[in-house]
Amino acid sequence: MTNSGTLYIVATPIGNLQDITQRALDVFSKVDLIAAEDTRHSGLLLSHYGIKKPFFALHDHNEQQKADLLVEKLQQGQNIALISDAGTPLISDPGFHLVRKCRQAGLNVVPLPGACAAITALCASGIASDRFCFEGFLPAKSKARRDKLENLAKEDRTLIFYESTHRIVDTLADVETVLGADRYVVLAREITKTWETISGDHVGNLRQWLAEDANRTKGEMVLIIEGYSQTENEAFDPQVVKALQLISQALPLKKAAAIVAELYGEKKNALYQYGLAHFG
């Protein structure tokens, strides 16, 4: 649609106001309207950058119905920027329904990258960043939270969650119960702000450390959990271990792991890692 406007998806800072991009400021100054979750909050943010624009409130509970109105405005040629209270819109924030409707209507959607707490925390966690699952917020109730964690217990990719200061202690207790005290976790708190802390340990130890000082669980936080690894978390059947040990006395460990994997239907690499750790 040539005369239609563009919807810009604009990331804003997650704490440090210097983390705005030049492109975001340029887009704010040229659009007709800014769709935001909390217009008062965003008004303060944008006035910090000297920008004054009309706002349109778009939050979780009105998005489905308000999105149609925004689509109409775009079709009439208005340009609109979508922002959330902090970070990247749509990431545990409103915007998905609007973007889907815009794309279905053939409207132009342009993303402007910037801060996102999950990715920023992952980068500094020291936990594998090559494959990960972002799971948003865990359920608030313990039973549902444990069920969710049980479903993810054998997930070998890094797990990333958003968590609140009120629930982090209970959540870590559930993580310890379901995934075991040895699972390595990182709590990234108040990223880009004055009290930024990034603390990592086995969940049992981290829980104890947090219990020593209530300030350690305050503020906004991302929880990163190392993915499941058979070698660390689960012993092989003793028969499998025995076979691996015997065969590796006659053959290189890699070869021995391949043979035992074939014989017992185990993962070759997991056996190899186990062998390295225990008798390599």
Note the helical H segments in the chain: 22-30, 39-48, 63-75, 96-104, 117-125, 142-152, 168-179, 203-211, 230-233, 238-250, 253-264, 268-279
Q: At residue 24, what are phi and psi to the nearest 5 degrees? A: -60, -45
188, two tokens: 């990234």
Residues 238, 278 contacting (CB under 8 angstroms): no
Residue 171 contacts ligand SAM per CB under 6 A: no
Query: Edge-to-edge, what's the strand order for the sheet holding 184-189?
Result: 132-137, 158-163, 221-225, 184-189, 197-202
Residue 197 contacts ligand SAM per CB under 6 A: no
Burial class (CB in 10 A: 0-12, 13-18, 19+), 50: exposed
Residue 226 contacts ligand SAM per CB under 6 A: no
Q: Which one among 28, 132, 162, 228 touches ligand SAM, defined by CB under 6 A?
A: 162
Q: Which one among 24, 35, 179, 222 touches ligand SAM, defined by CB under 6 A?
A: 222
| Candidate ranges 25-33, 61-69, 176-184, 188-196; the one touching ligand SAM (CB under 6 A) | 188-196
Alpha carbon 147 to chain centroid, angstroms:
19
Q: How many residues bind ligand SAM (CB under 6 A)?
A: 24
Residue 221 contacts ligand SAM per CB under 6 A: yes
Residues 162, 136 contacting (CB under 8 angstroms): yes
Q: Which one among 9, 24, 71, 86 touches ligand SAM, defined by CB under 6 A?
A: 86
User: Of 47-66, which residues contact ligand SAM (CB under 6 A)?
Assistant: none
3-state DSSP call for residue 223? Answer: strand
| Candidate ranges 22-30, 96-104, 191-199, 229-237; the one touching ligand SAM (CB under 6 A) | 191-199
| Candidate ranges 39-47, 98-106, 215-223, 271-279; the one touching ligand SAM (CB under 6 A) | 215-223
List the one residue out of 65, 83, 76 whose CA is nearest residue 9: 83
Residue with Cβ nearer ligand SAM (114 or 275): 114
Looking at the DSSP bridge assignments, the partners of residue 198 are 188
Site string for ligand SAM, 66-85 (x = CB under 6 A): ------------------x-
Four-residue CA torsion sign, 207, 208, 211, 215: negative
Q: Which one among 34, 58, 117, 244 touches ligand SAM, defined by CB under 6 A?
A: 117
Residue 116 contacts ligand SAM per CB under 6 A: yes
Q: Minimum Å distance from CB 14 to ligand SAM?
A: 4
Residue 164 contacts ligand SAM per CB under 6 A: yes
Residues 188, 224 contacting (CB under 8 angstroms): yes
Q: Minimum Å distance from CB 2 to ligand SAM?
A: 32
**Interface residues toward ligand SAM, by CB under 6 A:** 14-15, 84, 86-88, 91-93, 116-118, 162-164, 188-193, 220-222
